[in-house]
Structure 1
Amino acid sequence: MTTHVPRTCLRAPLLLLGLLAAGSPAHLTAQTSAREGLLNGAPDPTGVAVKNDAGETVYYVAATGQGVQLLRSTDLARWEPAGRVFHAPVPEWAARAVPGTQGIWAPDLSYHDGLFYLYYSVSTFGSQHSVIGLAVNKSLEPGHPDNKWEDRGQVISSDAAETDFNAIDPALLVDQQGKWWLFWGSHWAGLKAVEVDPSTGKPKDGAEVLAVAARPDTRSHAIEAPFVIFHDGYYYQFVSWDSCCDGAKSTYKVMVGRSKQPTGPYADADGKPMLEGGGTLVLENSERWRGPGHNGVITTDQGQWMVHHTYDVENLDAQRILQVRPLTWTKEGWPRVGEPVAAP
């Protein structure tokens, strides 16, 4: 039996939170370009904490890649592969829906009512022709007889002729009243949300698509990767701004706003609405870590942690790697992240 520790919330080597072996040479170029390495490493991570049959807390992370890569840890510092969701790089239905795709992007992993929910997106770089799908499972433990993924297929689609959004970067929220909401979006008209039927994991019949964040005040409209959690009376929407995938030149960063309601209106610490480009900085570039972003939050009785990807300028060939940071809250009620859990 697996119990849930609450979430208020491809080809990759064994991950050490992006930390390379001591003595590795520093360099600012990689043999594989950032665009060529989009599916490598552990990009776009989200995770959960569960109790296994022995009563131990086990952490699982899902990340972008061929078939969706799963990682497992018992201490948030050492991670090992825990299989893949799909045997093929992309499910057949999604490959037909999005010709030219090579892998699955931005999975969202959560646990509710005895099932793991894995929302995932399929697209091609720079395109608005995209789909979001859903797969479910009773267990993630390698070798467990209940570890069998069921693909429920398409949840949301987008196309330039029909929508003003891009159907990638999904994230599920179950609010304080027990309602289910799916958030998603990247660039274009910004981020969206829709109420979900818990029995299917798909939008309710007739549910309205709601706008929750955008950057109309920028030429690029570069906002994506919504992730919403509840804390002390507010819903906090984490988002990522700017350039995700340019190696050491990446400008990705994590921003946040909050609202009393799960669907907004969200505003930053200065009161600027997120629909008008508002956002309070949570995490940005440092000398070594570049392009940190596309985060999830893991919540346990022992605390909260942000999982996100970043480039390590001393090991750019690793591409976007997994990093975990403790997440705490200021007295004013805004999230703050610390240094990475593991250090060289």
Structure 2
Amino acid sequence: MRFFSALISSVVLLASSVNAYANPGACSGTCNNAHDPSLIRRSSDGTYFRFSTGGGIAIHTAPAITGPWTYKGYALPSGSKINLSGNTDLWAPDVHLIGSTYYLYYAVSTFGSQSSAIGLATSSTMDVGTWTDLGATGVASDSTKIYNTIDPNLIAVGSSYYLNFGSFWDDIYQVVMASTPTLTAGTSSYNIAYNRSGTHAEEGSYMFYYSGYYYLFFSRGICCGYDTSRPATGAEYSIMVCRSTYATGGFIDKSGNACTASGGTVVLASHGTVYGPGGQGIYQDPTYGLVIYYHYVDTTIGYADSQKVFGWNTITWSSGWPSV
């Protein structure tokens, strides 16, 4: 009887491990204050920079992705010159090195509002005190639009630049940027991901090119306010992906469903003490290889937005699809 019980336990354990997600990688130092992280490494000295939502965009640095992370201050301590509500509490940074200049895209909005705009700041080093706010990029929304211009993400395709953005309403859109991507190249935009059900809860897109495909990662579900009201089980943030051979559309999930018709394959969802992972990005780490990074709630710490923790995992691939 003991043998039979042990055999059943082993089968259950094996089945659960097949469907399990890896726990986040090591993190030391200041690992909270990590909502909507953007991760980049300065090539001149190998310093890691982590930018996150809140105030003038918090900056943390570390010698490695594992830490120890140290808070340095705000990128834009006076906020944005964009004249909208929320311009001193900036969201969803997205940082890239273009030529010899670092570009920091950010969103100006207030929670639940469609009165939003995407701004840009630049720096030659990323250090606190070196950022210059350039203000509006020309990507903005209001109640007349079918999209919301938050959660910016830039991708370069050859000599062209595209900015992905969006949240709820009709979800994720894309616009062409100028050859120097400080401004949009026009007002035309097009939908690249849309969840037809419920409140259309998709946002936080991040596009990444790998092995012949453009992978569109995005966060689906409810992101915030878990300390006061948690959504139904499974309705919290999770990380999804679709892919296409083009950066401008045609994204499908692993089952062949269009990303514009509620498609999306789960990459990472709540598990163990990890709750509501999202706000993700992809980074090629010199030590750990290709990683996905994100914020999450550690249920042993707390559910408040200010307690969101920085997480990361190495990515593995199977038949052209990522997993952790």
Instruction: Give the structure-1-normalised TM-score.
Output: 0.79
| Other structure's SS at 2:275 match | strand
**1: CA distance between counterparts of 2:260 and 2:299?**
33
Q: Moved runs in structure 1, 4+ residues, more than 4 A?
A: none
Query: 1:171 Cα shift?
Result: 0.5
**1: CA distance between counterparts of 2:149 and 2:131?**
22
1:291 alignment partner in structure 2? 276
Matched, 1:197 2:178: yes
2:104 alignment partner in structure 1? 118
* Paired residue type of 2:35: P
2:223 alignment partner in structure 1? 244
Matched, 1:87 2:77: yes
1:272 maps to which of 257, 260, 263: 257
1:187 alignment partner in structure 2? 168
Query: 1:246 Cα shift?
Result: 3.4
**1: CA distance between counterparts of 2:195 and 2:42?**
36
1:30 alignment partner in structure 2? none
8 Å contact from structure 2 (residues 291, 314) kept in 1: yes
1:209 maps to which of 184, 189, 203: 189
Larger radius of gyration: 2
| Other structure's SS at 1:199 match | coil
Query: 1:82 Cα shift?
Result: 3.0
| Other structure's SS at 1:294 match | strand
Matched, 1:322 2:307: no
**1: CA distance between counterparts of 2:176 and 2:88?**
30
8 Å contact from structure 1 (residues 119, 171) kept in 2: yes
**2: CA distance between counterparts of 1:284 and 1:76?**
21
8 Å contact from structure 2 (residues 159, 179) kept in 1: no
| Other structure's SS at 2:59 match | strand
8 Å contact from structure 2 (residues 283, 291) kept in 1: yes
* Paired residue type of 2:190: L
8 Å contact from structure 2 (residues 84, 109) kept in 1: no
**1: CA distance between counterparts of 2:66 and 2:166?**
30
8 Å contact from structure 1 (residues 258, 266) kept in 2: yes
**1: CA distance between counterparts of 2:188 and 2:57?**
29
Cα gap change, 1:239/1:133 in structure 2, threshold over 3 Å: closer, same or farther? same
**1: CA distance between counterparts of 2:182 and 2:43?**
23
| Other structure's SS at 2:125 match | coil
* Paired residue type of 1:315: I
Instruction: Give the structure-2-normalised TM-score.
Output: 0.83
8 Å contact from structure 1 (residues 15, 321) kept in 2: no
* Paired residue type of 1:86: L
2:36 alignment partner in structure 1? 44
2:323 maps to which of 336, 340, 343: 336
Unaligned runs of 5+ in 1: 1-13, 19-40, 338-344
8 Å contact from structure 1 (residues 213, 275) kept in 2: yes
Matched, 1:222 2:201: yes
* Paired residue type of 1:160: S
Percent of pairs identical after alignment? 30
Query: 1:58 Cα shift?
Result: 2.1
2:155 maps to which of 170, 173, 178: 173
8 Å contact from structure 2 (residues 30, 71) kept in 1: no
1:104 maps to which of 90, 109, 112: 90
* Paired residue type of 2:97: Y
| Other structure's SS at 1:275 match | helix
* Paired residue type of 2:266: L
Matched, 1:160 2:143: yes
**1: CA distance between counterparts of 2:215 and 2:52?**
22
Query: 1:101 Cα shift?
Result: 5.7
Query: 1:77 Cα shift?
Result: 1.3
Query: 1:15 Cα shift?
Result: 4.4
**1: CA distance between counterparts of 2:119 and 2:140?**
9
Q: Deviations over 1:57-104 (max 9, x none)?
A: 22211100100001111221121123311122x22x33x322x66511
8 Å contact from structure 1 (residues 306, 325) kept in 2: yes
Higher mean displacement: 107-116 or 320-329: 320-329
| Other structure's SS at 1:267 match | coil
Query: 1:150 Cα shift?
Result: 1.6
Query: 1:190 Cα shift?
Result: 1.2
* Paired residue type of 1:262: A
Query: 1:312 Cα shift?
Result: 0.9
